[in-house]
Amino acid sequence: MNKKEVLEIRKQFTPENCAITRICGCYVDYEKEKKVELKKAFLSLPEEEAFKYFDIFKHTLSGTLGKNLINMGFPLDQELEGGTQQTLLKLRDSKLEDDLLVEQFYDNVIDNYDYAENYYIILIHAVYDVPGKSSDGLEMFDASDTVYDHIMCSICPVNLTKAGLTYNAETNNIEDRIRDWIVEAPAKGFLFPAFNDRASDIHNILYYTKKPEEIQPDLIANVLGSTIPLTANDQKATFQAIVSDTLGEDCGYEVVRNIHDNIFEMLEESKEAPEPLELSKPDVKRLLEKSGVPQEKMESFDQEFEEVVGEKKTFLASNIANAKTFQIETPDVIVKVNPERSDLVETREIDGRRCLVIAIDDHLEVNGIEVR
């Protein structure tokens, strides 16, 4: 799914556009025991309660694609009878009205979700009549010929409110606040099927993680049955390892700076694109060649890439380079530079020592004090 498709589904979480037919919920305590369950038509909820659920659902489709929102496919074996895709399809097709299927889903999540505190599993079913679009891109709500039938799951931490004092209007007094349990924004979730090309794509799923480095591998593998992706930090570390291993002793400052500059340029050129910029093996190879990596060093690139990443894996450009800053570190000094002006920093040998040289104009500040 791309940004526009995610946004289109997010827009359904309002009273005016609501396409949710049913909601189910299960509150699980720290001992992995089910404490209470909810099963009802979504439109039967009180208005204020529905608004709070809308906020949770919007959070489940928020964040950066490739970091918080991850497109994942099903391996072929999971699309066979008994596979996780088939299980999710049965759950969707039941419109969450088959209590046994819902209970089995809860049990599967509880068995595979690694969390030591209380949490709330929310499962919804929705049917969205996808409006057609005219040649100029305007939606035609009376020309819908596609129905997006889907389920979405949100897993929310449930924590005690903080201790403190409160004003009691009934007694007109400042008192100790009663602590209660509050459902917080979701930590994990998924949308199935994916909404690709404005239609259902049962071969893919959109996974949400609030913290990109805590992706819950067991939940992905055993509940969703998808291939566990490289996290944003893993992608960055893997890319750095490929560059270091390919260049070896020739991993100099100028080449590394060129790599950063070229990635930054690619990100700038693609920032209006709906899809995040992905770099496949050929893309990374061209990037290194363009950045000045000697041809003799590129001879080992194919082997390095396949050993570390795999033939069919890709990197998100935004995960392997920081588009906001160009950073240089020594054991005692950290220099951060506007990524558009990395040319202001170079390395030179001065009096027999390798030094960083930073070009400055007529303005220089040290701890907020202008130096003349």
Summarised one tens digit per residue, pLDDT across range 358-367 is: 888 778 888 8
- 178: exposed, middle or buried (C-beta count within 10 Å: 0-12, 13-18, 19+)? exposed
pLDDT, averaged across the chain: 89
- Across the range 127-153, mean pLDDT stands at 79
Tokens at 200, concatenated: 């259902």
- In this structure, the strands spanning 181-183 and 139-140 are unpaired
Summarised one tens digit per residue, pLDDT across range 152-166 is: 999 999 999 888 898
pLDDT band at 140 (very low <50, low <70, confident <90, very high): low
Summarised one tens digit per residue, pLDDT across range 83-126 is: 999 999 999 999 999 999 999 999 999 999 999 999 999 999 99
- Across the range 241-246, mean pLDDT stands at 85
Residue 310 has pLDDT above 80, yes or no: no
Summarised one tens digit per residue, pLDDT across range 86-96 is: 999 999 999 99
| Distances in whole angstroms, Cα of residue 173 to Cα of each of 163, 164, 166, 180 | 17, 14, 8, 20
Helix-helix angle 281-290:301-308, to 10 degrees: 140
Q: Out of 29-33, 297-301, 306-310, pick the least confident.
A: 306-310
Residue 129 backbone phi and psi in degrees, to 5: -80, 105
pLDDT band at 36 (very low <50, low <70, confident <90, very high): very high
Question: Is 140:134 a contact under the CB 8 Å cutoff?
Answer: yes
Select the more confidently predicted residue: 37 or 293. Answer: 37
Residue 247 has pLDDT above 70, yes or no: yes
